[in-house]
Structure 1
């Protein structure tokens, strides 16, 4: 282990704080986009990701790789 490395417990705490902040910002962004229309890429049956990187449920019959219109 190198002496200039951040201690594992400090790294873990920083990573946890960053994940919590990311979750908080994602919730705020999704709320700000409520009732807006976006395109979403179907990544697997019933699941798609919007242009703003939010995961949404879609019609399971939508083909994988298709772009579908969704309302957040």
Structure 2
């Protein structure tokens, strides 16, 4: 089982990469990559990675919090 510090570091990498990649793709404005709505396909993928990472961190935090309260 991972310690809490390792969980945080492990979750920071995909979350920060997704966020930075989203802003880079948003500012890039490359027409050849294709768009879905206002954002490019790469920006949507980065946004999905960020949201999934945020949900995983949220669930992990509250799961560990509830385990600490029980024991």
Between 1 and 2, higher relative CO (CA 8 Å, sep ≥ 6) is seen in 2
TM-score, normalized by length of structure 1? Answer: 0.39
Determine which structure has the larger helix proportion and give its number: 2
TM-score, normalized by length of structure 2? Answer: 0.40
Determine which structure has the larger strand proportion and give its number: 1
Q: Which one has a bigger Cα radius of gyration?
A: 1
